[in-house]
Chain A
Amino acid sequence: MSRALLRSVLELRPAVPRPIASPRILPATQIRALQTQTPRQFNPTAQFVDPQPRPSQLPEQSTSSLSSSSQREPPKQKPNPPRVRLPTTPPEITPQKLDPSVKSLLPLLAAQPAHYITIHIHGRPYLVTEGDAVRLPFLMPDVQPGDVLRLNRASTLGSRDFTLKGSPWVDERLFECRAVVTGTEQEPVRVMIKKKRRCRRKKHVFSQHRYTTLTISEVKVVTEVPEDA
């Protein structure tokens, strides 16, 4: 057991700089991360050149490899080839023709000063304006504070008098919405008391979740729509 532990630690040592300079995986299908603050290089070959990838090099285990450096070594390598999951790109949406009413009314919407937008992240709507702070209900993987996300899925876009409703989504070419990852937030520890009837025993279960916080840095209506739209 101790030899396995030592071996796992030795094997982890070269993999140590990974979490800092790790290749970026696109966070979700709806979100396209733009690297503006600290451009980190994407090096897709690192996952392929290794003839026998260590368990910590597989992408689906990259987060768990940070949490525990012990109990990492599997007893024996399975003969079947390891699954390598590539970062997926969102499916290409064929650009639709814009409705003429949208084309005519969009400059009026853009001319009004303040805009609101209902963006969707993982299917949940967030009605935001520029400068708002959003605490997502989950911890977004593979982002660092300062990263800029381009949010391209929205259901409504509006100003004081006009609202552009998507069916179900507003055309991506009509707006630009960007959010800056400002960090992670913790909630206070939750204590759940597990108790059964007619039994004095009480069990306290603790949990504490972490959440990613964003700031909406830009909401812009694009009026120069390409000609083919």
Chain B
Amino acid sequence: MTIRGLPQISTGRNGVGAFILQCKRLDFHYCDWAGSSRGMNGFIKSLLPKFAAAHPQIEITVSPRPRKHPVVVGHYVNGKTKSIEVKNMEPMQVLQKVKLLRDASGEKDKRTTKPVTSINESVRGIWSPYHGNGMRV
């Protein structure tokens, strides 16, 4: 008898039952000297404490990265990362980018044409010509 792995019983669907924010960590890298980090430094001083307090489920790390442009990196539950360079931006623009990283799911950008994706079985079943009353031609 061959060994068979356990089949997956259920698929996780975020929001059914519990909701888990997909962004688990945000890294902020800045430079003290360079001018492109000015908005980022202002963001870290003025806006980041409020943002961090409002999102206790996100781990936030701030670390210097001298002689480089400022970067915000988001780490997601599915193991992927997404990074945005925020050079020469104002603090509010950096906040927009941070919100974008917070709302993202970590998946690759896909073009979808159908709005609804479902893994449920069809509620009304599949139509069959051999069942029901039939149709007189």
Chain A residues at the B interface, C-beta cutoff of 8 Å: 9, 12-13, 16-17, 19-21, 37-38, 65-70, 114-116, 124, 126-137, 144-146, 158-160, 179-180, 182-188, 210, 213-215, 217
Contacts and interface: CB of A to CB of B under 8 A. Distances in A.
Leading 9 A-B pairs by shortest Cβ distance: A215-B15, A180-B15, A184-B103, A69-B92, A116-B123, A132-B118, A69-B90, A183-B103, A188-B109
Given A183-B22, A185-B105, A16 B46 contact: yes
Contacts of B47: 16
B92 A12 contact: yes
Interface string B112-128: 10011111110111000
Nearest to A15: B92
B118 A128 contact: yes
Contacts of B17: 217
13 contacts: A16-B50, A37-B19, A66-B92, A114-B120, A131-B119, A145-B19, A145-B103, A182-B15, A183-B22, A183-B103, A184-B100, A185-B109, A215-B13
A196 B60 CA distance: 50
Interface of B: 13-17, 19, 21-22, 46-47, 50-51, 54, 90-93, 95-96, 99-100, 102-105, 107, 109-112, 115-121, 123-125
Contacts of A127: 116
Nearest to A129: B120
Nearest to B39: A69
Contacts of B121: 114
A187 B109 contact: yes
Contacts of B110: 185, 187-188
A69 B116 contact: no
Contacts of B99: 19
| Majority-rule SS of B interface residues | loop
Given A134-B116, A186-B104, 17 more contacts: A16-B91, A69-B93, A114-B123, A116-B123, A124-B115, A128-B116, A129-B118, A131-B16, A131-B120, A145-B22, A159-B123, A180-B15, A182-B22, A186-B109, A187-B112, A188-B109, A188-B110
Contacts of A183: 21-22, 103-105
A143 to B, nearest CB: 10
Contact of A67 (B14, B93, B117): B93
A16 B94 CA distance: 12
A146 B54 CA distance: 13
A187 B112 CA distance: 8
A186 B100 CA distance: 9
Contact of B115 (A21, A37, A69, A126): A126
A55 B92 CA distance: 16
Contacts of A145: 19, 21-22, 102-103
